[in-house]
Structure 1
Amino acid sequence: MTLDTLEALEQQIKVIKHDNGIYKVRTITDEEDIIPVPAIGKLVYNIEEEESTIRKEDVNGTELDYEEYDEGGDYFVPLPTNIKPIIDSLNSLDDRRVQTVINSLALATKENFENWLQNLKMSEFEYLITPSNSYPYKRYIIRKIIANCCVSHLSLLINTLVSNISNESQLSVYYDNLIERVKKFKEDQKEEFIGLMVDIIDSLKDYVHKGQLNGKKTLAKPNLDKLSCLLTICGKSIYKSAELEYKDVQTEVCLVPGYQEIKRKREALGEDFCYYAETFFSVLESGGWNSNLPSISSLFKELSKIKLSFEQKKRINKLL
């Protein structure tokens, strides 16, 4: 406990309201408002040891019994070895039942939480993380998984997040959390992660190539760029030369692409969109696009969505 942590706690207290054992944030957020609260005493997350705190017939049922308290008076239950009771409780209209699950997830140590995930059947874990399965507090649970799971579970989660190549946001939502986790990898974990990501990377590269050939919208390339950054942290580069790798998709400068085509190119190429845009810089400087203002606007708008080097920004600023 330091002055900084006390000040941080003071600020947290100011935005939390407590009502009948339920803790909620006062401010409006894009996620659910019930939050985990501290507990006093040691909690044991083993159903066999804690049979007294959960009705035996409910272990594989749909309801968790929150009527037992720890020494501090907080709601909690051992995490069950199947997912349905957790999902059903999070969907409950009873805030105490929701608070119970949130507390139990939050209070599990990294070791206990990882062991709990390891004991889940693969079908149970997939049900928990699949994008097609929506339930309350899912983002909270996915972030908890990212921070505490083993490398193999993390690769399974990433594969799920990039499985839909028409939806870039699935990976973007958790990207910062993934960066933070990968930075904490030990050397053996980095090697394991690189090995497990090979098939995922190859699959995304295949989608990128097919998208370039048939001109269909795909967000595989932005996701590929994000995974490339994760592997770079682990000391592995998946691109030899992005400029050379994607030179075959550059458009002839004599043609002015429509603003929608420019947008689709950025979605398909991700960070390499700059190489595509650079093929038009000379004709832009000579005024060749002056009669196509929507295309000019679209080109610079899409450039603003990607990371640019200092030299690239300098070059673009001369065109503006």
Structure 2
Amino acid sequence: DAFTVAALPGDHGTPERCYEVVIIGLTGKAFRAESGLLFHPHTSLRDAPALDTLVVPGGRGARIGPASAIIADWISKHAPKIRRIASVCTGIYAVAPTGLLDGRSVTTHWRFAHDLGRRFPKLKVDPDALFLKDGPFYTAGGITASVDLALALIEEDYGPRVALSVARELVVYLKRPGGQKQYSEPLEFQCNSSDRFADLATWILGHLRGDLSLETLAGRACLSSRHFVRRFKQVFGGTPANFVKNLRLDDARRRLTERTQTIESVAASVGFRSDDAFRRAFQRRFGVKPSSYRNRFDARTNASQNRKTIRKRSKRPARGKR
């Protein structure tokens, strides 16, 4: 959509169309995406025209299906003639087999970052970046990060003024602060229901404001502190202190979006004894200050901003009457 919006002639201060968007399918036949949308490609891989920029979208097919090998083979043959190659989300699984990304910094959806690094150990995988550029190769994280990437490419081509105009049209940030940790699931509990730790995370969530010291948690599990730490790392993959801190921060993040408490009250309600300690921990974990996060995800603030935008834009003279 960002490229399509940018392609509208004259709308963003450009004298002509910025881009021509071409949808390429494995064949020329229509195909349905995982989202359910039906796409009618302009052409097939075999008949694809010369490209300036190639963007490979993600999806299950790109990650584990036979399409990945077909796309990778096509990219290997045509890459020397393409100025830049980008992947979105798991689309990187169709680019990585070419070897073109070996030794480069890349990203993908946080959920698949570990698997990507395991399958392609020569890649330098950053699970938190919204998007990365390394030479002529660009990789984006989760699906909406593709908008961030598209705006960056538009800015490269036509400058910040055009990119900002497109961002305003899409009602998004031109440069979004923070990384994928702002939006990813806080923790992945990997324990069996029969394990003595199965209910511990739930119990901790119900007592975030209370004493969650090592001694308290070890006593809850009926283990010595030393044995508890060792078993805890085996089950949850980290220390009890970091586990508790992350749960507190994730609950704080939820409370901030509800706008029913002050930031100081949120900090206290999830067990932080110091407002400053909470702010530092929150920014270190999510890459943004608690106040910035609240403003960004508060529905009422966004609605108010949208109303102001509508009023301002309604005062513009109609096109052709200036």
| TM score, norm. by length of structure 1 | 0.27
| TM score, norm. by length of structure 2 | 0.27
- Which structure: greater strand fraction? 2
